């Protein structure tokens, strides 16, 4: 028996022998079925690994066997990889290294089994689930839309550590394995087969039979040889060096070196073709021990766990499930409405888009068509999927034709009486249980719902621009919105491929309430003499996807000022907008949309913006130019942290995990920090309070309306600091 101690046990750990069934459907064949009673989908957790060890021991001694098939308990259910909760708990590098090596030993024994071993995989096959398959002689995958195969570990701040980092490069060569491991992409079965990641695909209903026939030698199948040229390329040190340096450049450009796992994975993959199995295993174990115990992995795992928690929001707490939406509508076919309607049609919802303007409708349908054509050209979808997505969208100028809808999403102008009128009219057309969602970015959902009959069905659904790319939807619970409608709206967001976060109906909701103080602080530092391109660079280094001034130019000064003003009205002086916003507006300097903001934006997709040369006239002071880099970053980031603490205190989101999820997916807040509150935890709440107090007491803040209030720490933060506590447990 191998010693797996150190791999933490789940709470509901089953008895030994309960996680795996072995069937003997015919002489000479064993079918090993991953079937743990405590999981809806098998996870390679401590009890399953323990039972697998015992099963492998039996198989090793059984001389009657010719073939072995490893599979899941049902179609679409192979296994979901390693136990993420356990990874979150592990902190001691020595324990991690020992545990990883023990699993390596087990997988090596599977690889060394005498009978032919065939993995029959289907459904999600990520990470450890694919790594155990790689230890089998051959892999057969189910050719269906749900099967997704790959090694996404780098997205969790680790690398494929159970053999993936050396077995996959040996199987498919350097370029393809680098692409798979560094991006962490999951591939459809057919694509995985073309790349050599699996040896054969089979229709789902024949998967097991095909695997059995191959295991028993009735069907001939051998792993494809990549040819001597490919082999020579992988083993050629000059070529490997060249590939590594190109890949390193791309990684550094994308991540600025903030994600150590990707760089470690690169080194590991490059060395793999010439590495022995034992040395590959040792290196993987050492790397995993370092990475899994480090802060980046912990932060990324916490975000992953937040996303998993968000997936459960589409059901009621008692398991109640909303009925499936077949028919939906969108009112307002502009930038947002067009994107939302297109996303709905893509996901198989019969969607009707309604606008007062025929031109707006034509443009929305045209954009939908262009998007589908592009994805078809890139082979992301097949012809029949493209046809279906096109068929599912139609348009109308007449809102009376929306009566069949089970959900209507409103995306007309951001004016309260306009929204009230549109939704009031709609309420008379649709059934009383039709969900009425508003995509308002700043108005109160409760106010919008006020005069609508059955206001419990009115909810906010705040998408972000561009709809197709932005992963977050804030689901706003109005005062009267029912729990069922909130769950059904989250289920819809999930169906559209988004991550929902339920947010209280407060001004700015969650995301804009945090972005506004950050952008305002950047603006004030600029007015006080700091160079905007320097601050943009600093925030990129911090891990934001773009600097604050690039973001203001993207959003537009008008929108930023409008948001700032409504937050000021709601929360008072700490949200007083920087007066320079008005000065910019005065010159029709709205950012990208007018070609000039902080940057000059030349026309043409590839033309690069350059810093405007006439910015000095807006800078009325010089003190901020004397602040060092860390002080500048602190002022911008801590303005978000301070407001985030107030939001948590008010219960704007359900908990700190959801708040952080909203910040990462909605503001792009550096994921490797784990979100705004995760960042505060990593700095230490005591230190955060100290720094906030220093800024609040500075003359710049005491002289500024609302400055002291903005940086005064909230009670929740002071209490945590006093006890040395953290936001995230």
In the list 80, 149, 221, 336, the residue contacting ligand NAI (rule: CB under 6 A) is 336
d(C-alpha 349, C-alpha 495), whole Å: 10
Q: Judged by CB under 6 A, does residue 334 bind ligand NAI?
A: yes
Nearer to ligand NAI among residue 17 and residue 425 (C-beta): 425
Least Å distance, CB 342 to ligand NAI, is: 13
Where do runs of H (alpha helix) occur along 71-173? 84-89, 93-112, 128-134, 164-172
| Residue of 368, 462, 568, 601 marked catalytic | 462
Q: Does 87 bind ligand NAI (CB under 6 A)?
A: no
Q: Which residue among 354, 476, 560, 717 contacts ligand NAI (CB under 6 A)?
A: 354
Give the binding range for ligand NAI (CB under 6 A) out of 32-40, 76-84, 299-307, 350-358.
Answer: 350-358
Taking CB under 6 A as the rule, does residue 440 contact ligand NAI?
Answer: yes
Give the residue among 315, 319, 317, 364 at the shortest CA–CA distance from 343: 364
SS3 150: strand
Q: How far is the CB of 464 from ligand NAI (least distance, A)?
A: 6
The candidate with the shortest Cα–Cα distance to 515, out of 663, 711, 713, is 663
Put the strands of the sheet holding 29-34 in their side by side order: 20-26, 29-34, 67-72, 116-121, 138-142, 200-202
Tell me the closest approach of the beta carbon of residue 694 to ligand NAI, in angstroms. 36
Q: Please identify which residue in 158, 174, 411, 636 interacts with ligand NAI, judged by CB under 6 A.
A: 411
Q: How far is the CB of 567 from ligand NAI (least distance, A)?
A: 14
β-pairing, 67-72 with 407-410? unpaired
Is position 412 an interface residue for ligand NAI (rule: CB under 6 A)?
A: yes
Candidates 439-447, 606-614, 656-664, 682-690: pick the segment binding ligand NAI (CB under 6 A).
439-447
Least Å distance, CB 336 to ligand NAI, is 3
Establish if 475 lies at the interface with ligand NAI (CB under 6 A).
Answer: no
Residue closer to ligand NAI (CB basis): 43 or 448: 448
Kindly report the backbone phi and psi dihedral angles of residue 315, in degrees, each rounded to the nearest multiple of 5, phi listed first.
-130, 160
Task: Report the residue number, 16 or 415, with the smaller CB distance to ligand NAI.
Answer: 415
Report the chain's terminal Cα–Cα distance, integer Å. Answer: 35
Q: Does residue 335 touch ligand NAI according to CB under 6 A?
A: yes
By DSSP bridging, strand 67-72 and strand 116-121 are: parallel
Examine the residue annotation and report whether 225 is marked as an active-site residue of this protein: no
Shortest distance, CB of residue 421 to ligand NAI, whole angstroms?
A: 7
Q: Which stretch binds ligand NAI (CB under 6 A): 46-54, 351-359, 645-653, 703-711?
A: 351-359
> Is residue 435 within 8 Å of residue 488, measured between CB atoms?
yes
Which among 116, 96, 102, 198 is positioned nearest to 157, based on CA atoms? 96
Which burial class, exposed, middle or buried, applies to 635 when counting CB atoms under 10 A from its CB (0-12, 13-18, 19+)?
buried
Chosen residue from 396, 465, 619, 655 binding ligand NAI by CB under 6 A: 465
Considering the rule CB under 6 A, would residue 204 count as an interface residue with ligand NAI?
A: no
> For 434-454, what is the HEC assignment?
CEEEECCCCCCHHHHHCCCCC
- What ranges in 293-415 are assigned the alpha helix state H? 295-311, 335-346, 358-377, 383-391
- Member of 414, 484, 700, 709 binding ligand NAI (CB under 6 A): 414
Is there binding between residue 449 and ligand NAI (CB under 6 A)? no
Give Cβ neighbours of residue 161 (< 8 Å, ≥ 6 apart): 100, 153, 284, 285, 287, 288
Q: Assess 420 for contact with ligand NAI (CB under 6 A).
A: no
Buried b (16+ CB within 10 A) or exposed e, 232-264: ebbeeeeebeebbeebbeebeeeeeebbbbbbb
CA 129 – CA 137 distance, rounded (Å): 15
Please give the Cα distance from 578 to 548 (Å, whole number): 14
Is beta strand 138-142 parallel, antiparallel or unpaired with respect to 116-121? parallel
Binding segment for ligand NAI (CB under 6 A), chosen from 169-177, 458-466, 538-546, 561-569, is: 458-466
| Binding status of residue 332 toward ligand NAI by CB under 6 A | yes
How many residues of this chain bind ligand NAI (CB under 6 A)?
Answer: 23
The residue whose Cβ lies closest to ligand NAI is 334
Pattern 119-148, binding to ligand NAI, x per CB under 6 A?
------------------------------
What's the min distance (Å) between Cβ of 99 and ligand NAI?
Answer: 46
- Give the nearest distance from C-beta 483 to ligand NAI in angstroms: 24
Of the candidates 315, 307, 369, 317, which has an alpha carbon nearest to the alpha carbon of residue 338?
Answer: 369
Interaction between residue 554 and ligand NAI (CB under 6 A)? no
Residue 332 beta carbon to ligand NAI: minimum distance, rounded to whole angstroms:
3
* The one segment of 286-294, 463-471, 507-515, 669-677 that binds ligand NAI by CB under 6 A: 463-471
Report the b/e string of 402-422 with b at 16+ CB within 10 A: beebbbbbbbbeeeeeebbeb
CA nearest neighbour of 462 among 425, 517, 505, 399: 505
Select the residue interacting with ligand NAI from 74, 356, 607, 611 (CB under 6 A). Answer: 356
Choice from 12, 274, 357, 573 touching ligand NAI (CB under 6 A):
357
Nearer to ligand NAI, 265 or 336 (CB): 336
Q: Which of 201, 422, 492, 670 touches ligand NAI by CB under 6 A?
A: 422
Helices (H) and strands (E) in the chain, counts: 31, 19
Our finding on whether 360 is near ligand NAI (CB under 6 A) is yes
Give the binding site for ligand NAI (CB under 6 A).
Answer: 331-337, 354-357, 360, 411-414, 422, 439-441, 463-465
Active-site residues, by number, are: 462
């Amino acid at each position: 028996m191998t010693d797996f101690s150190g791999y933490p046990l789940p709470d509901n750990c089953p008895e030994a022998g309960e996680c795996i069934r072995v069937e003997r459907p015919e002489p000479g064949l064993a079918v090993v079925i991953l079937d743990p009673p405590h999981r809806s989908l098998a996870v390679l957790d401590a009890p399953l690994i323990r039972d697998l060890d015992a099963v492998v021991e039996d198989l090793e001694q059984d001389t009657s066997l010719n073939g072995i098939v490893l599979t899941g308990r049902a179609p679409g259910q192979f296994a979901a990889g390693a136990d993420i909760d356990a990874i979150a708990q592990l902190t001691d590098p020595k324990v991690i290294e020992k545990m990883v090596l023990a699993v390596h030993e087990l997988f090596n024994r599977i690889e060394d089994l005498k009978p032919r071993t065939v993995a029959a995989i289907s459904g999600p096959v990520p990470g450890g689930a694919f790594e155990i398959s790689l230890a089998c002689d051959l892999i057969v995958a189910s050719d269906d839309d749900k099967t997704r195969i790959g090694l996404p570990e780098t997205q969790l701040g680790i690398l494929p550590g159970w053999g993936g980092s050396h077995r996959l490069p040996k199987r498919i060569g350097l370029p393809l394995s680098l692409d798979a491991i560094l991006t962490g992409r999951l591939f459809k079965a057919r694509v995985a087969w073309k790349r050599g990641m699996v040896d054969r695909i089979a229709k789902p209903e024949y998967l097991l039979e095909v695997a059995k026939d191959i295991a028993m030698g009735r069907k001939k199948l051998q792993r494809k040889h990549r040819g001597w040229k490919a082999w020579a390329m992988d083993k050629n040190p000059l070529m490997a060096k060249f590939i590594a340096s190109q890949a390193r450049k791309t990684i550094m450009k994308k991540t600025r070196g903030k994600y150590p796992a990707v760089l470690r994975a690169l080194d590991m993959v490059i060395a793999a073709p010439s590495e022995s199995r034992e040395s590959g295993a040792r290196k993987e174990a050492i790397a995993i021990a370092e990475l899994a115990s480090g802060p980046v992995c912990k932060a990324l795992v916490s975000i992953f766990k937040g996303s998993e928690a968000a997936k459960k929001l589409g059901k009621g707490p008692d398991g109640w499930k909303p009925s499936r939406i077949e028919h939906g509508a969108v009112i307002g076919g502009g930038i947002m409405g067009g994107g939302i309607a297109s996303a709905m049609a893509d996901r198989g919802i019969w969607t009707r888009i309604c606008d007062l303007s025929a031109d707006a409708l034509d443009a929305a349908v045209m954009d939908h068509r262009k998007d589908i054509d592009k994805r078809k050209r890139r082979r992301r979808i097949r012809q029949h999927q493209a046809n279906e997505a096109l068929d599912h969208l139609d348009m109308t100028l007449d809102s009376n034709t929306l009566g069949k809808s089970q959900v209507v999403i409103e995306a007309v102008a951001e004016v309260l009486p306009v929204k009230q009128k549109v939704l009031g009219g709609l309420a008379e057309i649709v059934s009383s249980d039709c969900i009425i969602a508003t995509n308002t970015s700043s108005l109160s959902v409760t106010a919008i719902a006020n005069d609508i009959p059955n206001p419990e069905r009115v909810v906010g659904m705040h998408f972000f621009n561009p709809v197709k790319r932005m992963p977050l939807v804030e689901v706003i619970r109005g005062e009267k919105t029912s729990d069922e409608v909130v769950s059904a709206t989250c289920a819809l967001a999930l169906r559209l491929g988004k991550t929902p976060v339920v947010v209280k109906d407060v001004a700015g909701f969650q995301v804009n309430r945090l972005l506004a103080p950050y952008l305002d602080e950047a603006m004030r530092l600029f007015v006080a003499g700091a160079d905007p391109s320097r601050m943009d660079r600093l925030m990129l280094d911090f891990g934001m996807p773009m600097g604050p001034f690039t973001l203001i130019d993207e959003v537009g000064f008008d929108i930023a000022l409008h948001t700032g003003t409504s937050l000021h009205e709601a929360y008072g002086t700490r949200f007083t907008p920087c007066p320079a916003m008005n000065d910019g507006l005065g010159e029709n300097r709205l950012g990208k949309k007018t070609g000039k903001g902080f940057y000059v934006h030349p026309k043409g997709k590839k033309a690069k913006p350059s810093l405007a040369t006439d910015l000095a006239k807006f800078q009325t002071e010089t003190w901020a130019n004397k602040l060092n880099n860390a002080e500048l970053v602190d002022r911008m980031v801590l303005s978000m942290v301070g407001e985030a603490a107030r939001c948590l205190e008010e219960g704007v989101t359900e908990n700190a995990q959801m708040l952080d999820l909203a910040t990462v997916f909605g503001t792009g807040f550096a994921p490797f920090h784990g979100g705004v509150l995760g960042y505060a935890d990593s700095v230490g709440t005591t230190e955060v309070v100290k720094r906030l107090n220093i800024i609040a007491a500075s003359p710049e803040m005491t002289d500024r309306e609302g400055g002291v209030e903005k940086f005064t720490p909230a009670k929740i933060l002071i209490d945590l600091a006093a006890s040395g506590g953290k936001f995230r447990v």
